[in-house]
Each structure stands twice: as structure tokens, then as C-alpha cells.
A and B are shown apart, each in its own frame.
Chain A
Amino acid sequence: MTLDSNIPEGPIQDKWDNHRFSMKLVNPANKRKYSIIVVGTGLAGASAAASFAELGYKVKAFCYQDSARRAHSIAAQGGINAAKNYPNDGDSVWRLFYDTVKGGDYRSREANVYRLAQISTNIIDQCVAQGVPFARDYGGLLDNRSFGGAQVSRTFYARGQTGQQLLLGAYQALSKEVARGQVELVTNTEMQDLVVVDGHAKGIIVRDLRTGELSMHAADAVVLATGGYSNVFYLSTNAMGCNVTAAWRAHKRGAFFANPCYTQIHPTCIPVSGDHQSKLTLMSESLRNDGRIWVPRDKDETRRASDIPEEDRYYYLEERYPSFGNLVPRDVASRNAKERCDSGFGVGQTGLGVYLDFRDSINRLGENAVRERYGNLFEMYERITDESPYKVPMRIFPAPHYTMGGLWVDYNLMSNLPGLFVIGEANFSDHGSNRLGASALMQGLADGYFVIPYTIGNYLARQTPGSVTTEASEFSQVESEVRDRIETIVNLDGERSVDSVHRELGRLMWNECGMERNADGLQGALKEIPSIRDQFWQNASVPGTSGELNQTLERAMRIADFLEFAEVMCTDAYERNESCGGHFRSEYQTEEGEALRNDEDYSYVAAWEFNGVGQKPTLHKEPLAFDHVPLTQRSYK
């Protein structure tokens, strides 16, 4: 089949406006006849569900947490980008668009990114009106900072808790619609499978995590806002419960998975302290605005960091990339840290860390100014490591953080399965092979507040409302498959804890499909994954029953999906014989050690079609065209 991205005709500046005009509308009186299922209540899911409900659609929203407010968007610290140009420093929609395409290393769709930049300004207006307490200056106007490799200050923030405040804004909008009876919110519930009727996504099967009960839900459209798959690495900055299950089940039902090998490794996380580590903690990359990254020049340095004089410190980012310095994009910063540590210059007990030093900023700005900007981050660091960043440099190391890949969607955010929409981190669309800082919150809210409320109408207007109910035989068929799988897993009676299997998979993926990959390693991983999967099915232990709150069972089911998903991720990484953004194949690099793209052969979106567990998926290519941002080798020198 051919993948049609459905990008509207016309000049890029007018595409979205024209498209909004040409899309079909649902009559206001008819909207209440349509029902929409939204899975996930993070920034994308909550904002979409609230916006659908305001329009008059009947909405059912599901989340696995005990409250919609706990989705992992809440943990985003740094900020949200918008092309407001309030600081008058030369920002514009065009510049945000340009930066995002370039930052994504030319592997995103220009039309989508342009729309994202256009909408970015509306998001800030919307959030302020909801009461999001963004930082302000003494004149009472909104404050901005530069963030994550941008040379303009376009990032809006609320202390180090921007994600929390934006999510609470969306959660409150959602709560308003729950109170109005427009949204039925179902918490403590995890999607188990997608139901496809006559080629259209028409419902889902969910499991109540507290009672184990399965239930079937039908709707006129299904929206997945289920986040990313960083937990395939076991150790990541994602929340413990983040998983690929909903996306993977949709993939197994026919939705294509796009660019799964594009994963982002965040440069500023707290280093691992031991084998007991359950997750990694991110320190906002805004720290790089005022912190200077360095390692000792001497491998055998034994002095304390604060005693090492200037000439014995190697500020490697500042020296290697004079114009961007510590603010190079995430992939560049991460790889350089790894390179220093691999060469034996790492700091800390494990040698897997580099210094992020605030000494000079504290001297220049005063401790209070630094506290004002990063106080809560410093506290968090001190709680975890027992060291005060006001006195000694932080130690940081890269960690898996965000996944640019996801289910394939067209310009309307609809997957190749009609009726299945995918928004936020769960889709692949806007970040190419590398996401810029403060752009995830922007994309999640753009999709939820300002894109899908229009585009879903265009699909619904062609559907007869309520045409499919849970009476359709497909529902009971899928439900019984789900039931069988759960019973198989809950009866696993081996000797290994499910987490130990997950750790084994995570280690393999980190080593072979992490920050740096190569063909041999990926081949090896593809051979090894099936044997880890066998370990799981033969030797995992899942105590308890399926008819109660059983957290081991929940984890086991998620891990079972990661064990299948890992293969398409490695396959994608293996087949993409180039380096781009977060996908760094060590065979393909410039003399300076930068990612070396192959635009001739790989300027496409790789969308994979499922062919069965352990079977090689089929590759479908969506070619990418760059008419507005000239293809260049990224250089941050």
C-alpha cells in the first residue's frame, strides 16, 4: 500500500488555514451523537479530551493512573516553546519552524512542523487563560529563557515544573468537562487491545487494574495519547508505568510503526548509583544555560572537583563547539559525554559521569539568582545524591528520555487505520530524528488543543454516528484473545522476577540500540531478543490472580509487549544505514564525529507493518521533501 501523508496543497504558510477551510464540519447539533475514546490523559490526551467535550462530542477518557493528573507529562521541567517573540530577539514562526526541522536533522515533515510553529503561540494564550502561573518579570509580563540549543529566548516556564503546571491546566479543563457530564473519565484502567471493524478503529478492550475486570468500549473514533516507549531500555527517565502496550497492540492490528529507532538520550540526568536503580532522574536541560560542562584533563585526576584549577579542566563542549558551547543539541551533548567517559575521563565512582558546574554562574549572578532559576532542581539533586550543587559541581550522565518514533500518522494525525488517531509522543510526526528541548510540551498541547479537534471532525463527518456497538462480533473476539493472554501470563510460574527479565532486555537495548549503534551489534541484538523473550514465557514468575489488583501482572503484560517491540526497533536501526539525530550509527560519521546523513537514500519515514511475532516486518517508505529548509550538514561549531 502507498502511504499518503495528506499534506494539503499550497504555500507552506497557508496549508493549515486552507486545510481548516476545506475540511468537512460536523453540524453542532450532530456532535453529541458522536463518541470518541481517548486513551491517556497526559498533555495531549487531556487537552484533546477537554477540547472534544467543549465542542459537544461525547468523550470517554482512560488512564492507567489513579488520577488523570498523574500522567508523566507532569515531570517535564524546563519549559514550552512558542514563537511569541516577546523578548524582541528575532524569533518568528519561520525561525521556530526552521530550528525544529534542522534540530530534527531533516527527518520530519515540513508541513507538520510549520503548523506546529504556527499554533505554538495559541497554546501560551490558552494556558495563561487557564491560570497556568508562568514565570513573569517585575512588570508583570511573561518571562522567557533560551533553552536547549535555541539562540533566541522562546521558552516559557513555571519554575522547574512547567510540565506539571501545563498538565494541571489540561487536567482542570478535563475536570470541568467531567463535571458537565461531557467526559466519562475512567481511571485505573489500561488499554489491552484495539478493536477494528471493517477496517476502521471502532473501540478498545480495557482492564480495570483494581478488579481485573475486562470491558469493551465502542466509539466512532479512537485517539491514542499513550506516550513513548523509552522504558524498553528499562532504565529511563520515564515513569515506572510508561509502556508501549497501547501503541504496540494497535500496531499488531494494522497500524504502522514509524521510525522506532529514533530515541532521544537526554544529556543531563543523575548518574546510576547501583544495580538496584529502578529509574533515572532527569535534571532539566535549562541547567546548561548557566552550568558549564567539564571533565578533568588528566585521566588519573584525584583532586576534588573544586580543587582542580581552571587549566586542568576540559570544558569540552565550549572548546569543541565555540558558537553553541554548552547549549549544543541534546544528541551532540550526550554523545560527547559518552565519548569522554568511554575514553576514561568520566567522574564519580562509576566513571560514568561528567561535571556540570555552577561555580562561575554563582560568582557572576549570586547564589540567590541561581536559586531562583534552579532551586527546586538543586534540591532534588541533593536529595538523591547527598551533594549540594551550590558547593560542588553536579555529576550528570545521559539517559533515555523521549522517543521521536511512534505510530505513523498523516497530516490529520490519523494512522493508516482509519478512525485511529495518535497524538503527542505516541505519534512520530514532528520531531524528526531528534527533538529540541521544550518542544514536547508544545507538540502535545498543539495536537490536543488545536489540531485534532479540527481534523477528527473531518473524519467523523464521513461516519454514521454509533454505527458500531460492542455487539459486533469483533469485540467479543478480541476480548477473548485478551483474556487468554492474561490467563497465560498470570499462570507463569517460573523462578525469575519479571523485572529481572526487563532489566536484561534493557541492558541489551542500551548497549546495542542506545546512544550509538552499529550493524554487528544490532544483528546480535536481533538474535538475542527472541531468547530473552523465551526466558520470559518459560521462566518468569507472576504470583497472584488476574481478578484483583496485581501489579506484577500489569508489569509482566507491559514487558511482554516490549519484548516484541524491541525487534522492530532494532530492525529499523539496522536498516537505516546512516546517522541522523538520535540515531547514531558509528559506521556513519563525519571526521568530526558528527552524525553523517545519507539524504540520497534515507530521506524517508520508515513505517513498519507487522507480520507476526518474530517475523520481519514490512517496510513502507514515505518520502520526505525539503523545499523550505535547505538540507545541510548540521554544524554547531
Chain B
Amino acid sequence: MKVTVHVWRQKNASAAGKFVTYPMDDISPDMSFLEMLDVLNDRLEERGEEPVAFESDCREGICGNCSMVINGTPHGPMRNTTACQLHMRSFSDGEDIYIEPWRAKAFPPIKDLVVDRGALDRVIQAGGYISVRTGSAQDANALPIPKLDVDLAMDAATCIGCGACVAACPNSSAMLFTAAKISHLGLLPQGQTERMERVRNMVRQHDDELFGSCTNYGECQDACPKGISINFIGHLNRDFLKANFLKVKNPRREVESQ
């Protein structure tokens, strides 16, 4: 099949970017979308031109590295599918394909389709964990957890941290990402001790990173390659309200300020 790709090329953060058009002939429908870009890059390299910079690693839809907006949709047209798992058979012969990076204030551009998603890591560092030291755990079966609770926690935990929710959101909010971690840990008994402190700290970090607020557009759950439900943002909001209402103290900060 033949397609025409229009790729966002941007030398670096300070340079202006623009779409550059590349006609691609003899593309196999069984190629993955990123393999199509590999073919393009191979040709560019052989001509001594700079290939298109884009991120990908596992190419199995689980590492969360690939990150591109394809024809206006993060990860492209197929639901519950990362860009690396998308195949050319999802496009029609002769189609024009526009490829852009994630665009959000919290994701500064690096080059071409690569942006800096370090903000997501910093949101996790603000409290997206259970503080258990290596070696201090009790027997794994000492605490039964209802299967439905674990299954729901797993639905949230399946987030791959790609940032598609941010790219899809008109407010560039990372609420779905943040809510997924808060729900994963908050639904489990092990996560209760730090639950209120966690939600306050993670939401504060989320806002400090210049992610926008959630106003219930719902674009995030449509774009999420793992099908994570917007209901988890409800979990987050409930915990956040409760934590603020109860004026839960932040023990770590209290200790630090003493």
C-alpha cells in the first residue's frame, strides 16, 4: 500500500517545528506503524539525512515509551492500542497520515516526536508508593484481599505511564495517570496507612508540574491504550476531598519542619 506521512520535525526545544511530508510506497499492511517509520528512517539514513527521532522500546505495548499523536489521536485510531501495536492495515491505501508529538506544557519538546515526560516520574515520587522496607514484610497470605478489590486495583495498576491521557486532554491534565496510581494503592489494604497523605502530595505535585485540572471531558479514557476508566478520577477526588476535609497532616513534612 501507499501512504503519505506528514511528520512533525523540530530540531530542538528552541527551534521552530514544521510538518515535513514523506511519500511512502510499498508499505505492507502487516507492518507495524513504527516499522513503517523504521523504513522511512532507514531510507533517510542511507541518503545521509537525519532520521525522525521518536521513542519506542518494548514494541509490545507495555513499556509506555512510544508517544505520538497520529491523525489527531494519541496512539492513533485503534482503541486500547499503543502506537507500537498499531498496524498499517488500520489505514487505507493512499491515506495521508499526520504524526505529531505529545503537546502539553508539562512535556517540553526535545526533538521531533520526543518530549520530556519527567513530570510523570515526579508525580510518582511525591507519594505513588507504599513505604515498605526490603525485608520487613509479613507472609504474603497473612492478609486476604477480596478478589474484586484486587481486580479493580489491577485495572488501575495496568497504567503504562505513556502520557496519552495528557496529550488527549484539552486541559493537558494528568489526572487519569495520577488517579490510576492513587486508586491502585488506595484500593489495597497495604496502601491505607499513607492513603490521605499520598493523595494530597501527588495532587500538589501534579499541579506544580503545570498539568491542567480535570473538567471531566473524558478524552483521557478514550485515548488510554490500557482502557483505564475515568471512574478512577472519582476515587481520587473522593480521597482528595476527604484528606482536605480531615485536614490530614503530612507527617513527613511535619518532621522535616521541626
- Would A74 and B131 count as touching, CB distance under 8 A? no
- Would B157 and A54 count as touching, CB distance under 8 A? no
- Would B56 and A140 count as touching, CB distance under 8 A? no
Contact of A75 among B41, B62, B80 (CB under 8 A): B62
Q: Is A500 an interface residue (CB 8 A)?
A: yes
9-residue interface stretch from A62-70, A252-260, A589-597: A62-70
Closest to A47 in B: B134
- Would B135 and A126 count as touching, CB distance under 8 A? yes
**Across the interface, which residues of B come within 8 angstroms of A67, CB to CB?**
64, 117-118, 120-121, 161
- Would A66 and B58 count as touching, CB distance under 8 A? no
Query: What sequence of 0s and 1s flags, for each residue 539-561 of chain A, a beta carbon within 8 Å of any chain B beta carbon?
Result: 00111100011011000000000
- Would A75 and B65 count as touching, CB distance under 8 A? no
Grouping DSSP codes into helix (H, G, I), strand (E, B) and loop, the B interface class, with mixed when no group exceeds half, is loop
Interface size counted on chain A using CB atoms at 8 A: 86
**Across the interface, which residues of A come within 8 angstroms of B57, CB to CB?**
65, 70, 72, 239-241
Known interface pairs A128-B137, A281-B59, A495-B46; A168-B38 also in contact (CB < 8 Å): no
Query: What sequence of 0s and 1s flags, for each residue 14-53 of chain B, a beta carbon within 8 Å of any chain A beta carbon?
Result: 0000000000000010111011101101101110111101
Q: Is B221 an interface residue (CB 8 A)?
A: no
**Across the interface, which residues of A come within 8 angstroms of B89, CB to CB?**
386
Q: Is B93 an interface residue (CB 8 A)?
A: no
Query: What sequence of 0s and 1s flags, for each residue 154-192 of chain B, a beta carbon within 8 Å of any chain A beta carbon?
Result: 100110110000000000000000000000110010110
Query: What sequence of 0s and 1s flags, for each residue 119-158 of chain B, a beta carbon within 8 Å of any chain A beta carbon?
Result: 0110011111111111111111101111100110110011
- Would B46 and A65 count as touching, CB distance under 8 A? no
Q: Is A392 an interface residue (CB 8 A)?
A: no
In the assembled complex, the Cα of A386 lies from the Cα of B30 at a distance in Å of: 9
Q: How far is the CB of A568 from chain B (nearest CB, A)?
A: 26
In the assembled complex, the Cα of A137 lies from the Cα of B191 at a distance in Å of: 20
In the assembled complex, the Cα of A495 lies from the Cα of B43 at a distance in Å of: 10
**Across the interface, which residues of B come within 8 angstroms of A621, CB to CB?**
none
Contact of B58 among A74, A134, A137, A379 (CB under 8 A): A74
**Across the interface, which residues of B come within 8 angstroms of A47, CB to CB?**
134
9-residue interface stretch from B1-9, B108-116, B210-218, B236-244: B108-116
- Would A210 and B110 count as touching, CB distance under 8 A? yes
9-residue interface stretch from A21-29, A170-178, A191-199, A291-299: A170-178
In the assembled complex, the Cα of A282 lies from the Cα of B128 at a distance in Å of: 30
Q: How far is the CB of A600 from chain B (nearest CB, A)?
A: 43
- Would B39 and A276 count as touching, CB distance under 8 A? yes
Contact of A276 among B12, B35, B154 (CB under 8 A): B35
**Across the interface, which residues of A come within 8 angstroms of B59, CB to CB?**
239-240, 278-279, 281
Q: Is A623 an interface residue (CB 8 A)?
A: no
Known interface pairs A129-B132, A240-B56; A278-B145 also in contact (CB < 8 Å): no
- Would A133 and B150 count as touching, CB distance under 8 A? yes
Considering only residues 27-57 of chain A, those with a C-beta below 8 Å from chain B are 47, 50-51, 54
In the assembled complex, the Cα of A213 lies from the Cα of B63 at a distance in Å of: 26
Query: What sequence of 0s and 1s flags, for each residue 196-232 of chain A, a beta carbon within 8 Å of any chain B beta carbon?
Result: 0000000000000010000000000000000000000
Interface size counted on chain B using CB atoms at 8 A: 82
In the assembled complex, the Cα of A548 lies from the Cα of B48 at a distance in Å of: 17
Q: How far is the CB of B76 from chain A (nearest CB, A)?
A: 12
**Across the interface, which residues of B come within 8 angstroms of A66, CB to CB?**
55, 65, 116-118
In the assembled complex, the Cα of A50 lies from the Cα of B135 at a distance in Å of: 12
- Would A51 and B63 count as touching, CB distance under 8 A? no
Q: How far is the CB of A441 from chain B (nearest CB, A)?
A: 14
Closest to A132 in B: B157
- Would B65 and A142 count as touching, CB distance under 8 A? no
- Would B58 and A239 count as touching, CB distance under 8 A? yes
**Across the interface, which residues of B come within 8 angstroms of A240, CB to CB?**
56-59
In the assembled complex, the Cα of A274 lies from the Cα of B28 at a distance in Å of: 9
Q: How far is the CB of A506 from chain B (nearest CB, A)?
A: 14
Q: Is B78 an interface residue (CB 8 A)?
A: yes
Q: Is B73 an interface residue (CB 8 A)?
A: no
- Would A125 and B137 count as touching, CB distance under 8 A? yes
**Across the interface, which residues of A come within 8 angstroms of B116, CB to CB?**
66
In the assembled complex, the Cα of A210 lies from the Cα of B28 at a distance in Å of: 32
- Would A136 and B150 count as touching, CB distance under 8 A? yes
Known interface pairs A133-B150, A175-B124; A84-B51 also in contact (CB < 8 Å): no
In the assembled complex, the Cα of A180 lies from the Cα of B35 at a distance in Å of: 41
Q: Is A365 an interface residue (CB 8 A)?
A: no
- Would A497 and B42 count as touching, CB distance under 8 A? yes
Interface residues of B (CB under 8 A from A): 12, 28, 30-32, 34-36, 38-39, 41-42, 44-46, 48-51, 53, 55-65, 78, 80-81, 85-87, 89, 110-111, 114, 116-118, 120-121, 124-141, 143-147, 150-151, 153-154, 157-158, 160-161, 184-185, 188, 190-191
The 5 closest A-B pairs by CB, nearest first: A140-B144, A172-B129, A129-B137, A125-B137, A239-B57
Apart from A277-B35, A551-B53, A552-B41: 10 A-B pairs, beta carbons within 8 A: A69-B124, A129-B137, A129-B190, A130-B132, A136-B145, A164-B62, A497-B42, A498-B45, A543-B50, A548-B111
Instruction: List 6 contacting pairs A-B, 8 Å CB cutoff, sorted by A.
Output: A66-B55, A74-B58, A187-B118, A210-B110, A278-B34, A278-B59
